Amino acid sequence: MTQRISLTRYLIEKQRGSQGASGQGTIPPQLRLLLEVVARACKSISLAVTKGALGGVLGAAESENVQGEIQKKLDIIANEVLIEANEWGGHLAAMASEEMEGIYTVPNRYPQGEYLLMFDPLDGSSNIDVNVSIGTIFSVLLKDPEGPTVSEQDFLQAGSRQVAAGYCIYGPQTTLVLTVGDGVAMFTLDREQGSFVLTQENVRVPEDTQEFAVNMSNMRHWAPPVKRYIDECLEGKEGPRGKDFNMRWIASMVADVHRILTRGGIFMYPWDKREPGKPGKLRLMYEANPMGWLIEQAGGVASTGTERILDIQPTQLHQRVSVVLGSKNEVERVVRYHAEHTA
């Protein structure tokens, strides 16, 4: 029988590195502990998701988040679970969440760590009540060691400086997907054992695809390069691409990205002209950066259409961004269409 590798063991081996017991690996012990706590929090959220109506977790809460979106009960529950699990462990300086206006500094009564944790506690909120896959997305940065206290400014680092990123998808299976900068690994939750078990390593996104994911109802609002790309896909075999394309849109970024990491594809949430001043719908710090890094680590490309997502220097915690990510050759084509349009 092949040996099962738990997330804990995988992380300890990463910490030790290739020299084994005496070695120095790719992740420090504090980062390992932090990732284990995040995984534990995801396990609790998964349990709440599974209970659904029985656990009283469905439906809207009576509040709005900082982006003016009506919060679901699960948005709030997942946010609280992540904060409570992470605040006392001593590995964090502060947290930031899609559901909170400002940063959450670790209270003085707990030891302070050097890491910053960002999360979208519940991604795909419109799917919670209809029993469709949803998830949690997270990203980890290092605090400036020279700074005496932690502030929002510490979080405003480009995605290329992430030290860990991942998501947990709550679907037919609960799967945690992780990168610490040396490839992408997937861990499936074994509910009987209560642990995440390594089920795929060295995840690779195929360079080519015939499957796109975009909210087609926004088509009339898109910029010409995005419209050109999708029009050509829709023309299929008879059009310039000479092949038929399939479409999928789950409306949970975690689920759409998980499909792309599993079998390839291109995902787009582009800028559109309804609110020209708003770069896009998705959030840079909680959605685009972690997903962009995972996709790059699996051999794909993540762009706004005009620049690499991971190179963007954030100016605001809740900054929005246009997102085009997935199979290398398709994303590069969309980038080329943008360049040709402005040339």
Ligand X SMILES: O=P(O)(O)OC[C@H]1O[C@](O)(COP(=O)(O)O)[C@@H](O)[C@@H]1O
CB 253 within 8 A of CB 268: no
Q: At which residue do the structure tokens 């910490």 appear?
A: 15
Least separation in angstroms between CB 295 and ligand X: 14
Bind-site residues for Mg(2+): 98, 120, 122-123, 287
Rounded distance, CA 253 to CA 286, Å?
A: 11
Total of chain residues touching Mg ion, rule CB under 5 A: 4
Residue that is written with structure tokens 């991942």 in the block:
166
Of 113 and 124, nearer to ligand X (C-beta) is 124
Task: Output 67 or 153, the one with its CB closest to Mg ion.
Answer: 67
Q: How far is the CB of 142 from ligand X (least distance, A)?
A: 25
Residue 250's contacts (CB-CB under 8 Å, 6 or more residues apart) are: 124, 127, 132, 133, 213, 256, 259
126 binds, among ligand X, Mg ion, none (CB under 5 to 8 A by kind): ligand X
Report the nearest approach of ligand X to the CB of residue 1 (Å).
Answer: 38
Per rule CB under 5 A, is residue 256 in the interface with Mg ion?
no
154 is a site residue for Mg ion (CB under 5 A): no
Comparing CB distances to ligand X, the nearer of 126 and 149 is 126
Instruction: Please state the closest distance from residue 285 (CB atom) to ligand X, in A.
Output: 12
Nearer to Mg ion, 120 or 211 (CB): 120
Nearer to Mg ion, 98 or 296 (CB): 98
The footprint of Mg ion on residues 76-115 (CB under 5 A) is 98
Annotated binding site: 98, 120, 122-126, 215, 281, 287
Instruction: State the nearest-atom distance from the C-beta of 137 to ligand X, in Å.
Output: 8
Check if the beta carbon of residue 324 is closer than 8 Å to that of residue 304. yes
Question: Which of the listed partners (ligand X, Mg ion, none) does 284 bind, with a CB threshold of 5 to 8 Å by partner kind?
Answer: none
Taking the least distance from each CB to ligand X, the nearer of 15 and 65 is 65
Output the smallest distance, CB 290 to ligand X, in A.
12
Q: Where is the binding site for substrate, in residues?
A: 123-126, 215, 281
Is 50 or 126 the residue whose CB approaches ligand X more closely? Answer: 126
3-state helix, strand, coil in the chain (%, to 5): 40, 25, 35
- CA separation for the pair 168, 325 (Å, rounded): 19
Q: Which residues bind ligand X (CB under 6 A)?
A: 98, 120, 123-126, 215, 251-253, 269, 281
Tokens in use for 100?
Answer: 């909170």
The reply to whether 120 sits near Mg ion by the rule CB under 5 A is: yes
Question: Is 285 exposed, middle or buried (CB count within 10 Å of its CB: 0-12, 13-18, 19+)?
Answer: buried
What does 162 interact with, of Mg ion, ligand X, none (CB < 5 to 8 A by kind)? Answer: none
Q: What angle do CA 310, 321, 139 make, to 5 degrees?
A: 50
SS3 category, 320? strand
At 253, list the tokens.
């970024």
| Cβ pair 261, 295 in contact under 8 A | yes
The tokens for 136 are 């949690």
Selection from Mg ion, ligand X, none that 334 binds (CB < 5 to 8 A by kind) is none
Residue 123 in the binding site for Mg ion (CB under 5 A): yes
Residue 316: contacted member of ligand X, Mg ion, none (CB under 5 to 8 Å, by partner type): none
What is the Cα–Cα distance from 171 to 173, expressed in whole angstroms?
5
CA-wise closest residue to 167 among 316, 293, 278: 293
Residues that bind Mg ion (CB under 5 A): 98, 120, 122-123
